[in-house]
């Protein structure tokens, strides 16, 4: 029994991490009733900064550094992805917001193919096709107002863009890991992710632009109840970072662990319904499942490709 547990320890850690990430989303959903998605992101990253500073203080690392422009780009584009993700969390179902975020592997595969000349292969093309069909079923651009059961155009576009920006951020990490340890890359991300929403809230205190409410919003002092969920979001976020790091650290097969990470969409579907989200329509439900399936296929393909040196 103990041997089975040790063999699958990475999977167990990832399941725990997925539950914690889903709880971060649930806290953000509750907070969206009182404060803007930008303010939610600000608090999430401020707490993350404190956690990463503590983690770095415990590490000794010796790497060359460099690629400052790429490091800043990773922070900025990753923060933009968070702007869009937390806006989705605030305005559509929790499961739908997480499903859009899981489109990142589609864009990672396409970026690798177009710019790094990496081959896709039949399996990867199949995964992209399935995930793309899933996006269409969620957005439903082919349906008229009487039959449409997906998400509105604005949130659909922002959701897809959040996946694309996340893909750009994750792709840049491949190069940055040669020069910086992972905790330092994460620290730069949460630092920029704290500064940008702070600027957004300062601008939002003077200007209100409804069309850009996902980028600009004023600061609103949280209530006592909101502070409780802000602290909980920070705790769950820190625990998520610990367990996801442990998951990949002990995993025998990284592709299996990465595939298991998609279970957070399932958790968020249930949590969202508990928090008042409507149960997704049949087409949206199939679309979410298709994105999960396509993403798992792509993640397993990319992991095998990395092992083969591709």
Query: What mean pLDDT do residues 191-207 have?
Result: 95
**In whole angstroms, what separates CA 309 from the centre of its chain?**
26
Query: What mean pLDDT do residues 139-156 have?
Result: 89
The span from the CA of 290 to the CA of 126, in Å, is: 11
pLDDT band at 186 (very low <50, low <70, confident <90, very high): confident
At 52-98, the pLDDT tens digits run 888 788 777 666 667 789 999 999 999 999 999 999 999 999 999 99
| Residue 244: inside a domain | yes
Q: Helix 68-91 to helix 9-31 angle, to the nearest 10 degrees?
A: 60
| Residue 112: inside a domain | yes
What pLDDT was estimated at residue 301? Answer: 61
Nearest to 44, CA basis, from 96, 85, 3 = 85
At 235-287, the pLDDT tens digits run 998 898 888 878 877 766 666 777 888 999 999 999 999 999 999 999 999 99
| Residue 307: inside a domain | no
User: Per-residue pLDDT for 6 more than 80?
Assistant: no
User: Per-residue pLDDT for 306 more than 80?
Assistant: no
- Residues spanned by the domain of 285: 11-302
The more confidently predicted of residues 143 and 300 is 143
- The structural domain count of the chain equals 1
The mean predicted confidence, pLDDT, of the chain is 88
| Residue 4: inside a domain | no
Most confident of 2-6, 91-95, 104-108: 91-95
| Residue 1: inside a domain | no
| Residue 5: inside a domain | no
| Residue 219: inside a domain | yes
> Which DSSP string corresponds to 72-85?
HHHHHHHHHHHHHH
| Residue 38: inside a domain | yes
pTM beyond cutoff 0.85: yes
The more confidently predicted of residues 296 and 66 is 296
What pLDDT was estimated at residue 82? Answer: 95
Residues 6 or more apart whose CB falls under 8 angstroms from that of 254 comprise: 248, 303
In this structure, how many other beta carbons lie within 10 angstroms of the beta carbon of residue 6? 12
Residues 6 or more apart whose CB falls under 8 angstroms from that of 57 comprise: none
């Amino acid at each position: 029994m103990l041997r089975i547990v040790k063999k699958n320890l990475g999977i167990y850690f990832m399941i725990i991490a997925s539950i914690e990430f889903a709880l971060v989303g649930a806290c953000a959903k509750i907070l969206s009733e009182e404060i803007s998605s930008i303010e939610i992101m600000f608090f999430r990253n401020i707490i993350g900064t404190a956690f990463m500073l503590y983690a770095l203080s415990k590490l000794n690392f010796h790497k060359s550094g460099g690629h400052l422009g790429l490091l800043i780009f990773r922070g900025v584009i990753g923060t933009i992805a968070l702007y869009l993700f937390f806006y989705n969390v605030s305005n559509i179902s929790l499961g739908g917001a997480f499903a859009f975020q899981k489109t990142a592997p589609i864009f990672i595969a396409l970026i690798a193919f177009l710019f790094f000349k990496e081959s896709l292969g039949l399996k990867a093309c199949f995964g992209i096709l399935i995930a793309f069909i899933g996006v269409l079923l969620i957005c439903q651009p082919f349906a008229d107002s009487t039959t449409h059961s997906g998400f509105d155009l604005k949130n659909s576009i922002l959701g897809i863009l959040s996946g694309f920006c996340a893909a750009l951020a994750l792709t840049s990490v491949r190069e940055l890991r040669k020069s910086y340890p992972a905790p330092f890359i994460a620290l730069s991300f949460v630092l920029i992710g704290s500064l940008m929403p702070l600027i957004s809230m300062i601008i939002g205190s003077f200007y209100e632009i409804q069309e850009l409410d996902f980028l600009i919003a004023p600061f609103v002092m949280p209530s006592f109840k909101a502070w409780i969920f802000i602290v909980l979001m920070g705790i769950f976020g820190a625990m998520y970072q610990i367990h996801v790091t442990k998951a990949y650290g002990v995993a025998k097969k990284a592709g299996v662990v990465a595939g298991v990470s998609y279970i957070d969409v399932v958790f968020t579907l249930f949590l969202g319904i508990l928090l008042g989200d409507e149960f997704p329509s049949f087409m949206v439900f199939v679309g979410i499942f298709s994105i999960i399936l396509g993403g798992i296929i792509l993640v397993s393909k990319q992991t095998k490709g990395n092992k083969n040196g591709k």
